[in-house]
Chain A
Amino acid sequence: MTRAVSWPDRADAGEGREGPVEPVKILLVDDQPENLLSAEAVLESLGEEIVKAESGREALLQVLDSDFAVIILDIMMPDMDGLETAALIRRRERSRLTPIIFLTALGRSEDHVRRGYALGAVD
């Protein structure tokens, strides 16, 4: 299981300008609502604002509308997968530095890992 345990540290490092009091926005992207539910359950305790998107499409619209401290992206999604979504997010100047964490139930296939890091995933 690819699970990013260390993500809060990294997110803080990447978004140092965010005030400590103001809750930061976290974007959760997964095509399965059950996965969103459990991921949300895990992240809720952090007390940050969690925005959910059920497709790469929705995620892109969310990214256009607001800045996120971190984006957690499922890789396997229909139509536009996580890698493509991340590639688009990375190519936009404004979201180029937003940390992206890929979430996948796939085995840690080397190809995926390499592609993920190539796209600038932090974990």
Chain B
Amino acid sequence: MAASVLPVLFEGRVKAVIELASFHQFSEIHLAFLDQLTESMGIVLNTIAATMRTEELLKQSQALAEELQSQQEELTKTNKRLEQQANTLQASEELLKNQQEQLQRTNAELQEKARLLAEQKTEVERKNREVEQAKQALEEKAEQLALTSKYKSEFLANMSHELRTPLNNLLILAKMLAENADGNLLAKQVKFAETICSSGADLLSLINDILDLSKIESGAVAVEASEVRLTDLRDYVNRNFRHVADGKGLEFASSERPCLRKPHWNWYRLRCSVIAFSVEDTGIGISADKQRIIFEAFQQADGTTSRKYGGTGLGLSISRDLADLLGGEIRLLSAPGIGSTFTLYLPETYLAVGQYRSDSRTAPRISFSEHLISSRMKPLLPAPDQDDDRDDLHPGDRVVLIVEDDVTYSRILLDAAHANGYKAVIAGRGDMGLAMARKFRPCAALLDIGLPDTSGWAVIDQLQHDPELRHVPIHVLSIYEDRRRGLSLGATSFYRKAEGKDVVEDVFRRIGALAAKGSREVLVIRAAEAARQEIEDVLEIEGVRADYVSPAAAVEQLKQRAYDCLVVTGDPAEVPVAELLEAAAERDTAVVIYSPDGQAGDLRPEVRAARSAPQLLGEMVRVLHIPESALSEYQRLKLEKLRQTDHELAGSRVLIVDDDVRNIFALTSVLERHEIEVLHAENGRAGIETLAADPRIDLVLMDIMMPGMDGYETIRAIRQVEALRDLPIIAVTAKAMKGDREKCIESGAADYIPKPVDLDQLLSLMRVWIQNRRQNVSRAGSAK
């Protein structure tokens, strides 16, 4: 057995394997044949494989072609759709184009219409202007008319004044002559005087009639309709005319027809002019042709009758006009030789007809010399000299007010305020400082004394006298050294600027300490029961705690606890005042001496004295820095009452030197309200004489603009007098001119105040200077 395995190769790669088995051995020929055969078989097999592959590829490509075709078809469809849409779009576009054209047309039409409207508008405006012009012209004419009428009335009023004044004198004096009280005139002379008198009286009644008539004609008479009882009217007529008739020996009778009731009537006018409802007489009568003219002014039936019967010829004119005014008329029935009957017909109810001068209805115009004293002025706050926080304030901010004209120093203070967590507002003038204090309600004020417009002393005083600002602590930072004066005016602390940066820090430490404080603690020296009750009432303030101790224990208590304030009362003999003050000063405790009898003695400036419970309350507001709004209503009322008169000024003597009596009078009136004694002089010389004659004058208010010797000159002259060298003089100038103040102070005035005078400021200046003078005097006295 033989087996042969033959690889079928094509190009060196095995394509197939032939396995042959035989019972015989394969010969060489066989093998050679097989070898050749495998070669051809390899080629055949390869060909078959290639053909199969080709076929397969063909199939694949056919499938792809089919797919391609189907996709193409779809594309064509899409294309068609697109085409359709494009068509639709085009149609829409055309439509739009149409519409746009239409719109453009409409627009053009509208524009045309608008143009037309504008034209019409200008036309209307032009017409309006014309109407306006016409109206103005009319108004002018009306004004002219009113003016003319006013001139006429004024002329008449003035003329009547001019005529009546001399006539009046004539009448009075002639009457006195006629009375011949001294009995030294002849009967003939008395007769003359009587004639002057009666003629004068006639003239006077004529003038009165003219005035009445003109008043009615000009509409100056207003009707005041009110109910009049007929019986009253009848009484009035009887009372006034019966005796006239009796005097002439005529019979007089009045009767009432029952149908007449309650006429509305100008009762007031009726009493002045002689009319009645129906007046019948049995006199000479009036012929028909004269019946009309007698109602005209100055006409009588017979030009000669006036001599015979008297009368001015105006009575009937007045009567007719009055009847018109009341909406009625007068009828006359008369026959010569028989008599006349005048009948006044009035509507039962009065209806306003004429027009009354409206200006007589307005409130009375009274011209005061208001130019001198103004109420509190509210200066507008001008832009600050430098930036501060006034535009950057929020509720809850703690604001410090800086009143300082030195820009560098106020900057330092501003920075210090910021460093300590405060906002700050800066005022470069005293008046602005006050206005800003009122506006911004600061928690403390830092104040300079040398200010451009007023002295810081007056600013302290005004802050201290403003109920809403009194509690604000004032820290003075100044180059002045008058610490005593500052503290006695009410400053909380007084520093010299020269003391350096520590000063500023100290000030803010104090402000901070006050803000951090919860309740205020007061130590009261126990006093007599009555005073104690008063003090307890005063200290009944929310956030205030009071301890009451005996005089003996007071000093020890003061050393143990930090009190805000010590109230000392009681008999000076029992209370160790000096020791207490010493202890208080050490602990920086404020001291108020409460002595209703006024015996406080000479005190240190920081020690305040109170003479009454309300005064003590005022001191508590100041010393404890409690706003008045925190007090009870009753307490506030007490303080309000206390403020009505200025106790610090009461009893002082003030000289006013002013050439205008009005100013003197107005100032006197207001100063007297504060129980100030006021003297006055109308010029500088008289002022100096008054001062020389009265050494008790405490202060002078000097007008600067005076004819002859002016205020500057007068002040200089006063300063020449040894005894008057320290007398405080406050200059009053007509208007605040730059440099006025310097000029006043240079000439020797203590301070100055511009007109119109702010009353609060004036009182404040007076307090500051009168107090200063008293202190100087008392110190000079004690020094001796």
Which positions in A face B, CB cutoff 8 Å?
Answer: 1, 32, 34-35, 37-38, 41-42, 56-57, 60-61, 63-64, 76, 80, 83-84, 87-89, 91-94, 104-107, 109-111, 114-115, 118-119
Contact = CB atoms under 8 A, between A and B. Distances in A.
Given A34-B166, A38-B173, A106-B161, A111 B680 contact: no
B222 interface: yes
B369 A42 contact: no
Contacts of B172: 38, 41-42
A84 B367 contact: yes
B231 interface: no
Given A38-B172, A84-B368, A105 B161 contact: yes
A1 B220 CA distance: 18
B665 interface: yes
Given A35-B165, A42-B172, A91 B672 contact: no
B204 interface: yes
A83 to B, nearest CB: 6
A114 B460 CA distance: 46
B305 interface: no
B160 to A, nearest CB: 6
B665 A87 contact: no
Interface in B42-95: none
Interface of B: 157, 160-161, 164-166, 168-169, 172-173, 176, 204, 208, 211, 215, 220, 222, 359-360, 364-369, 661-662, 664-666, 668-669, 672-673, 678, 680, 682
A105 B364 contact: no
B368 A87 contact: yes
Nearest to A81: B367
A88 B168 contact: no
Contacts of B166: 34
A110 B680 contact: no
Contact of B666 (A42, A88, A106, A109): A88
A60 B438 CA distance: 38
Given A107-B160, A111-B360, A38 B366 contact: no
Contacts of A105: 160-161, 164-165, 168
A34 B160 CA distance: 17
Contacts of A76: 161
Most buried by A among B161, B169, B360: B169
10 closest A-B pairs by CB: A92-B669, A115-B364, A105-B164, A38-B172, A38-B169, A118-B364, A105-B165, A57-B661, A60-B665, A60-B661
Contacts of A63: 665
Given A64-B664, A88-B368, A118-B364, A94 B672 contact: yes
14 contacts: A1-B168, A1-B204, A37-B173, A41-B172, A60-B661, A60-B664, A84-B368, A88-B369, A88-B662, A91-B666, A105-B164, A107-B160, A107-B215, A109-B157
A57 B666 CA distance: 12
A93 B645 CA distance: 13
A87 B666 CA distance: 10
Contact of A84 (B164, B211, B359, B366): B366
Given A88-B369, A115-B364, A32 B165 contact: yes
Nearest to A63: B665
Given A38-B172, A118-B366, A93 B669 contact: yes
A91 B669 contact: yes
A115 B682 CA distance: 30
A93 B672 contact: yes
B665 A64 contact: yes
A61 B661 contact: yes
B160 A64 contact: no
A82 to B, nearest CB: 11
Nearest to B370: A87
A106 B163 CA distance: 10
B366 A107 contact: no
A88 B364 CA distance: 16
A70 B59 CA distance: 146
Given A37-B169, A64-B668, A80-B662, A111 B364 contact: yes
Contacts of A37: 169, 173
B364 A92 contact: no
A37 B176 CA distance: 12
A76 B159 CA distance: 13
Contacts of B204: 1
Contacts of A87: 366-368
A123 B231 CA distance: 29
B161 to A, nearest CB: 5
A45 to B, nearest CB: 9
B661 A38 contact: no
Contact of B169 (A35, A84, A94): A35
A17 to B, nearest CB: 18
Contacts of A60: 661-662, 664-665
B640 to A, nearest CB: 19
A34 B369 contact: no
B366 A92 contact: no
B668 to A, nearest CB: 6
A115 to B, nearest CB: 4
Contacts of A38: 168-169, 172-173
B709 to A, nearest CB: 19
Contacts of A84: 366-369
B211 A88 contact: no
A87 B641 CA distance: 27
Report which residue of B164, B166, B173, B661 has the largest number of chain A beta carbons within 10 angstroms of its beta carbon: B661
